Structure 1
Amino acid sequence: MRKRSAGLLLYRRRGQSIEVFLVHPGGPYFKNKDAGAWSIPKGEYEEGEPPFDTARREFHEETGQLPPAGGYEPLTPILQKNRKRVRAWAVEGDADAETIVSNTFKMEWPPRSGRTIEIPEVDRAAWYSPDTARDKINPAQWALVEELLEKLGRSSTDNGD
């Protein structure tokens, strides 16, 4: 069965501009990766698990912060290069990118070494303008940002000036 994830595309208004909240995956594989490595906070869900509940839970687990109470707008699901289907909801709100605290997981590193390390699922977060987000975000997830901008009556090059 194809893997499925659910997440939140948090955005905020700064004057006439829009910023989106993205997270960077933790661990040695992503340590020196930037362009195309960032993501919306998201996580996998199992059969029978409500994707919206997963999206809210994963936001909290990956940032240590509570997601907004309401105002969620469903976005069109996307398919990433790894064939993972991602469902997402856009929501206006705020989060402190400087103080995130992510859950951790264990993985074998280096591969086939027998040594296990514990790493944060997310090692940092940041607010980005749509123009900067386009370069940072997983390429398939850019469609989520574009849809958000359309819903807000903006274009990807509209920075509010």
Structure 2
Amino acid sequence: MPRRSAGILPFRHRGGNLEVLLVHPGGPFWRNRDEGAWSIVKGELAPDETPEAAARREFAEETGWTLEGELIPLGEVRQAGGKVVTGFAVAADYDPETLCSNTFDMEWPPRSGQIRAFPEIDGAHWFLAAQAEEKLIPAQRQFLSRLQTAINGFNIK
């Protein structure tokens, strides 16, 4: 059975343009990566947890922000490593400067015996939809077109 995650893609309209909030993963492996490295805010489902509950929990843990509003389902995607991600969108307007991510511990440098703490997310940024297409992990790019379809279907401005 593939690993399962769920996440949230905040969006807003500015100057007639759709913008989405993406996050950059923390830790040394992602430090110098940009294009194709950004993500929706997501995390793994706990046993017996629904995708929506996991997405809401992970969003709060990884950003420190309160999530308000109804979630718009964006379906599932399968990432290159086999993980299945269920996506949701929400109309929101967070200030990336107020991001307060939780941390994880890992041995760094490798085989050094030193355990260091790293933020799960080391940055957040609002991107125009076209910019987000380049920044997102390739499998998650499908969420952008699904969001635009949902927005058009619901007349969300």
- Band the TM-score falls in, shorter-chain normalisation: over 0.9
1:38 counterpart = 2:38: yes
Indicate the structure with greater strand content.
Answer: 2
What amino acid is the match of 2:145?
E
Partner of 2:150: 151
Partner of 1:49: 49
TM-score by length of 2: 0.93
The unaligned stretches of length 5 or more in structure 2 are none
Q: Deviations over 1:27-86 (max 9, x none)?
A: 111010000110000000133112111101111111111112x22111110000011000
In 2, Cα distance between the equivalents of 1:111 and 1:142? 32
Aligned with 2:148: secondary structure? helix
In 2, Cα distance between the equivalents of 1:73 and 1:99? 24
Partner of 1:157: none
Aligned with 1:145: secondary structure? helix
Structure 1 outlier segments of 4+, above 3 Å? none
What is the aligned-residue identity percentage? 48
Number of positions where the alignment pairs a residue of Structure 1 with one of Structure 2: 153
The unaligned stretches of length 5 or more in structure 1 are 155-161
1:4 counterpart = 2:4: yes
Alpha carbons 2:46, 2:54 under 8 Å: kept? no
Q: Where do 1:1-161 residues align within 5 Å?
A: 1-68=1-68, 70-153=69-152
In 2, Cα distance between the equivalents of 1:63 and 1:75? 20
In 2, Cα distance between the equivalents of 1:16 and 1:143? 22
